[in-house]
Amino acid sequence: FINRWVYQNWSMEFITIQWSVFLMVFCFLFIPTFFMGGQFPVVIRLVVTQMDMLGHSIGKVYAFNTAGTIIGSFLAGFVLVPWIGVQNTILVAVVLNLLVGTALLVFSIDLSLNIKIYLLPAILVLCLLYGSSMEPWDKSVISSGSYMPYRIGDLKEAEKKTNKILYFKEGTHTTVTTELSVSGNIFLRVNGKTDASLAMDMRTQLLSGYLPMFLHENPESVLVIGQGSGITLGAVEQFPIKSADLVEISSAVIEGSRYFDSFNHNALNDDRLKIILADGRNHIALANQKYDVIISEPSNPWISGVGALFTNSFFKLMKKRLNPGGVACIWVHTNMSPMNFKSVARTFSENFEKVTMWESIVGDDYLLIGSDSEYSLSYSEVDKVLSNEIRGKDLFRIGISTVRDLMSLLIMNREGILSFSKEAPIHTDDNSLLEFNAPQYIYKDERDVLVRQLTPFVRIDGSLIKFDQYSEAKRLNVLKEIETTERSESQILEIKRRNKIDGFLDQAKEAFKRGETDLTIEIYGKILKQDPENVLAWLNMGNVFKGMKRFSEAEIAYKRTLEINPFYLYGNIALAQLYLASKVPEKALDVLRSVREWHSDSEVSLYMGLAFAFQKKIDLALKEFQNAILIDPEFSLPYYYIGVQYFSTRPNFSEKNLKKFLVLSSSNGENQNLVLKARQLLDKF
């Protein structure tokens, strides 16, 4: 948040931001660390009783101090943080320090007995009460990644709780969050930075899996470094391989990726899969196994330690772990200097005899695929995959329905890459170019420069295609098509299609505001013809049907969202609301109980409470309303329903809750009908 304040109000210069962070941390830590350092001579003075034992006593104190710091850091990092989280770990440390400090003062001979008996315990109790009353950190804000300039809007969304947090875990290595937006996008964040999603990331995730598999004649063993959403792994598993190894350093990432199961073909449940919790580089360096295909898709190189997966030494290790004819694939993005990008491209290309560069997302994500053997793209194999109901659906999702669409992403061969990057240095472990230079490009963007520098070297080469049993006429016809293909043509067409869908969504919204419900439904129908799995269109269409009292059609629409994604919480809640509106609370409870098996949410508790209220089970209803407040104290609706339920029996408590409801509702301008009713009830007190 210091970073955010500096780049919003002062400067985007990396050095300025780093100095600001350093000075702020220095100001906070100088006084406590100064006194911590002062403890050492004090303890020495207490321990040393004889000068001839001075060295021995200092050694003992130093040994205990060293052992304590090692044990403390181990317990904090490997036990407490994964178990109770960062905030509670800090509170535990504060409590321990308070207890130790209080104990030392109790045994002090300079303090009076009254102070020891009354004042010290009172101070200790007050501190403990203050600590226990602290609200938990907002998970949405913690995961918003607001230290990055291009994520400024995400903090506002986090404060409004626009998205639903499906998974949150603070682990030894990372804090992992899986979030769901109303549009149906699921995204997995590591330390606030989005590492995987169902939006634009889908292109890179799917192509990282499909492309290297297409370019190997008969892949049987595959290594995937980095789980993310599991979509790359799921793509790999669509081929008739014998084994797949997944190397992921964080168990929390693997757990968080479970919410992508509907989109990654339940990748983690494949019998051919072996999950290895380890560092990707160490695994490649130490394992004896060799693979037909190795895919490296780590996080961004500007993150500490990740740059080691883009060095000359790592690429040599990849090459060493490949079987004869094996294929290696790496992902590299442009959120770095053009020279850094060129350095990675050159370093990779210097290690393999056959290399191609593919443009996954123009100006953002690129794939480098290398081998020491000649490889080709089998027209028949690609055509077979595109014709397959499951695998073809994967690629159609990113706008690829023909071989030509796929070839439009090929922009350079090895010769072109080496010419493009010839002035760049080789990236080594010793110079660590990315480790120290890439973080600067969080705050400045030179992607347009890089794209301009790439353009003169772009060449879509149809000679990569192998035609097998096809006729000469077919071959010439396909090659002619490819010659006329524009760079990233398929992606541009997909962007236009998505923009058209977004336009339809806006039109439907405006039509609904005007009360033209039939036109609204017609527009949603147009969207679903172009994108049958657009959950937002299904959800909104269900809402329109519900408003028209066409409950059976609304039910079909809501259920369709859950067929597409069972974890689409908005669809689950909408379906439960529909059943409540239809006066079948038992069905609403069935839906909400199934949600509670995988997620705890304030809205789920609220609607469970309303369902119980429908059934006249008031005690259970009130329990659920209280639970909703425990999950989210800023959620206004439970306060209203508690106030209504206690209106006759506990007027003071009812008044307190109704007033709280009004305060929270006034801040967001929502629930105006209930606001009016709450005021009418308060007027009766």
Mean pLDDT of the chain: 91
Q: Residue 462 sits in a domain of what CATH number?
A: 3.40.50.150
Amino acid at 633: P
- CB 648: neighbour CB atoms within 10 A? 8
Claim to verify: residue 300 and residue 426 sit in the same structural domain: yes
How confident is the model over 667-685, as a mean pLDDT?
A: 84
Same domain, 470 and 497: no
Mean pLDDT calculated for residue range 495-521: 95
Is 242 found in the same domain as 189?
no
Exposed/middle/buried for 218, CB within 10 Å: 0-12, 13-18, 19+?
exposed
Residue type, 335: N
Give residue-wise pLDDT tens across range 534-556.
Answer: 999 999 999 999 999 999 999 99
Q: What gap in Å lies between CA 671 and CA 112, rounded to an integer?
A: 59
The string of DSSP letters for 304-318 reads TTGGGGGSHHHHHHH
Q: How do 193-197 and 186-190 pair as beta strands? A: antiparallel
Considering the domain boundaries, does residue 74 fall inside one?
A: yes
- 254 and 176: one domain? no
Domain boundary among 194, 209, 226: 194
CA end-to-end span of the chain: 45
- pLDDT for the residue numbered 15: 85
Same domain, 242 and 106: no
Within-domain flag for 184:
yes
> What value does the mean pLDDT take over residues 418-442?
93
Q: Is the pLDDT of residue 182 over 90?
A: yes
Percentage helix, strand, coil, to 5, in the chain? Answer: 60, 10, 25
Q: Is residue 138 situated within a structural domain?
A: no
| Residue 618 sits in the same domain as residue 650 | yes
pLDDT at site 187: 94
pLDDT at 508 over 70: yes
Query: pLDDT band at 667, cuts 50/70/90?
Result: low
**Range 103-126 average pLDDT:** 79
Give pLDDT tens digits for 224-280: 999 999 999 999 999 999 999 999 999 999 999 999 999 999 999 999 999 999 999
CB atoms within 10 A of CB 90: 14
Final residue of a structural domain among 152, 168, 194:
194
Give yes or no for residue 158 having a pLDDT over 70.
Answer: no
Percent of the chain with pLDDT over 90: 65
Amino acid 174: pLDDT: 87
- Confidence grade of residue 474 (pLDDT, cut at 50, 70, 90): confident
CA diameter of the chain: 103
Q: What is the DSSP string of 318-338?
A: HHHTEEEEEEEEEEEESSS-H
Residue 133: the pLDDT is: 78
Query: H/E element holding 366?
Result: strand 365-371
Question: Same domain for 288 and 394?
Answer: yes
Mean pLDDT of 599-620: 96
pLDDT for 132 beyond 70: yes
Q: What's the DSSP call for residue 528? A: H
**CB-CB neighbours of 536 under 10 Å:** 22
Q: What is the pLDDT of residue 260?
A: 97
Domain annotation covers residue 323: yes
**pLDDT at residue number 155:** 64
Length of the chain: 685
Report, in angstroms and rounded to the nearest whole number, the Rg of the chain calculated over CA atoms. 30
Dihedral angle computed from the Cα positions of residues 511, 516, 520 and 521, in that order, rounded to the nearest 10 degrees: 180
Distance (Å, whole) CA 285 – CA 45: 50
Q: In 174-211, which positions are buried (b, 16+ CB within 10 angstroms) versus exposed (e)?
A: bbbbbbbbbbbbbbbbbbbbbbbbbebbbbbbbbbbbb
CA–CA dist 626, 611 (Å, integer) = 15
Confidence of residue 325 (pLDDT cuts 50, 70, 90): very high
Same domain, yes or no, for 86 and 158?
no
Q: Please state the rounded mean pLDDT for residues 597-604.
A: 93
Same domain, 475 and 329: yes
| Mean pLDDT computed over 330-356 | 96
**Residue 139, in any domain of the structure:** no
Q: Is 622 found in the same domain as 514?
A: yes
12-40: average pLDDT: 87
Higher pLDDT, 511 or 140: 511
Query: Is residue 645, in this structure, part of any structural domain at all?
Result: yes
**Both 303 and 327 in a single domain?**
yes
Domain residues for the domain of 190 are 144-194
Reported confidence tier of residue 375, pLDDT bands at 50, 70, 90: very high
Task: Output the domain CATH number for residue 551.
Answer: 1.25.40.10
Q: Please name the residue ranges forming H helices in 351-446.
A: 379-387, 389-396, 403-407, 414-420, 433-437
Least confident of 146-155, 238-247, 363-372: 146-155
User: Between 14 and 235, whose confidence is greater?
Assistant: 235
List the single range of 215-219, 609-613, 647-651 with lowest mean pLDDT: 647-651
**Contact between residue 329 and residue 369 where contact means Cβ atoms under 8 Å apart:** yes
115-129, 434-448, 583-597: which is most confident? 583-597
191 or 350, which is more confident: 350
Token pair recorded at residue 59: 């050694």
The C-alpha atoms of residue 481 and residue 492 are separated, in whole angstroms, by 17
| pLDDT tens readout for residues 29-85 | 999 899 888 888 888 887 887 787 888 888 998 999 899 999 999 999 899 998 999
With a cut of 80, say whether residue 110 has pLDDT above it: no
Cα(113)–Cα(105) distance, rounded to whole angstroms?
A: 11
Backbone angles phi, psi at 361, to 5 degrees: -130, 120
pLDDT at 191 over 80: yes
Residue 357: count other Cβ atoms within 10 Å of its Cβ: 25
Domain count within the chain = 4
Q: CB within 8 A of 126, min separation 6: which ones?
A: none
Binned at pLDDT 50, 70 and 90, residue 473 comes out as: confident
**Of 113, 133, 153, which marks where a domain is finished?**
133
Q: Which residue in the block uniquely carries the two structure tokens 């695998």?
A: 391
pLDDT at position 172 over 70: yes
Tell me, yes or no, whether 175 and 310 share the same domain: no
Q: Is residue 220 part of a domain?
A: yes
State yes or no: pLDDT of 137 exceeds 90. no
Residue 507: per-residue pLDDT: 97
Beta partners for residue 392, in sequence order:
none
Answer yes or no: is 602 within a domain.
yes
